[in-house]
Structure 1
Amino acid sequence: MIGAPQSPCVAVCALDARVGLCTGCGRTLAEIGEWGGATAERQRAILALLPERMAQLAAGLPARL
């Protein structure tokens, strides 16, 4: 069995109000709040969304939630 993934938090906690995402990790406030109680499967689902969100934030594009 695969264990729970490590949090994507990089201790750069700043919310981009335009899109509602943390500029450090790419998660929404709801995703950040649920992380500790989420199943490993849900955590992996959140992690799968982050690379595209972070690329969109870096490019100044509106992220798709």
Structure 2
Amino acid sequence: MEVVNQFVVSPCVSVCEVDERDICVGCLRTLDEIARWGVMSHEERMHVMTELLPLREAGDVT
């Protein structure tokens, strides 16, 4: 059985400031996502990284 690295690096870029929607202007995560990052499952982190952050960057999701 192949072991896959399930470590997802935080998208934090050390620009910790939230906008009026409570989304960090540096990493585009919500305050809840930032607070929960350490206890999120691999799947949850991948969802944030591959689905939510690109949509927020494009302005499609709050």
Which residue pairs with 1:46 in the alignment? 48
Where structure 2 has 5 or more consecutive residues not aligned to the other structure, the ranges are none
Classify the secondary structure of the residue corresponding to 1:22.
Answer: coil
Q: Distance in 2 between matches of 1:14 and 1:27?
A: 11
Aligned counterpart for 2:18 among listed residues 15, 32, 43 = 15
Return the structure number with greater strand share. Answer: 1
1:15 is displaced (CA, Å) by: 0.1
The list of structure 1 runs, each at least 4 consecutive aligned residues, that deviate by more than 6 angstroms after superposition, is: none
- Work out the number of aligned pairs and report it: 58
Structure 1 length-normalised TM: 0.77
Where structure 1 has 5 or more consecutive residues not aligned to the other structure, the ranges are 57-62
Q: Match for 2:14: what amino acid?
A: A
CA RMSD between the two structures: 1.4
Q: Match for 1:29: what amino acid?
A: L
Structure 2 length-normalised TM: 0.81
| Larger CA Rg, structure 1 vs 2 | 2
